Amino acid sequence: MKLNIYLIGAFFGMLILASSCSNEDDNEISVSKDKWYWGYFKGTINGEEISLENLWDDDLPVRTVSKHIISYYPSEENKLDSLRKIKTVIGISTGITYSENKAIRINLFNLYKGIRFVTNSTKVDFIYDGIQITQDTHSDEYENRYIRYIPKKETPFKVEITNITYADDTNTNPIIEADLNGVLYRSDNPKDSIVVKGSYGTR
């Protein structure tokens, strides 16, 4: 009898271990970061679990929309001196389509590991960080077709770049991973909001 109890206990222990390993596997990214189409998002949006990964035969739910190399003068007061100190920074714009009609857009400028707080939508100039969710209502009227959810200045959206590398020696082709944590508010009705918590990667 004791032997049967031990066997049953061992059996359930193996089931728990297998389930744990399965859950860990679910959290891993199956596509190598070396692939040009690598990208993922894992987290919650308004409490709903969302897990996205780019696959070869997929339509790339997480994609780099554009990359920018921006040069500017640090000072407008003394352009001659500024020419000697011209600055060049890299920017990357990412789109995350998480439902049939909703997508997150993230613009990050001047890339570095660490935390930044975003207060702009992506409709501002690209030299500023921006984030928003766009909902396509499929309305025939263009003015009413898109609903935008954007951050508030008094409650900025937290973005933390946790990893950044480059695909080549030029250091102009970034591969990034970042954590998202914040609330976006409907632009025409701030009482309507979307909470985003998760992480993403793109190249």
For residues 1 and 110, give the distance between their C-alpha atoms in angstroms, rounded to a whole number. 68
Q: How far apart are CA 195 and CA 176, in angstroms?
A: 22
pLDDT tens, N- to C-terminus, the chain (203 residues): 444 444 344 434 444 444 444 444 445 677 788 888 899 999 999 999 999 999 876 679 999 998 888 776 665 555 555 455 677 788 999 999 999 999 999 999 999 999 999 999 988 666 789 999 999 998 888 777 999 999 999 999 999 999 999 998 888 899 999 999 999 999 999 999 999 999 999 99
Q: Residue 199 burial (CB < 10 Å; 0-12/13-18/19+)?
A: middle
- Hey, where are the domains in the chain? 1-29, 31-202
Is the pTM of the predicted complex or chain greater than 0.75?
Answer: yes
- How far apart, in whole angstroms, are the C-alpha atoms of residue 47 and residue 115? 23
Helices (H) and strands (E) in the chain, counts: 3, 11
Distance from C-alpha of 60 to C-alpha of 166, rounded to nearest angstrom: 20
Start-to-end C-alpha separation, the chain:
59
Strand-pairing partners, residue 63, are 95
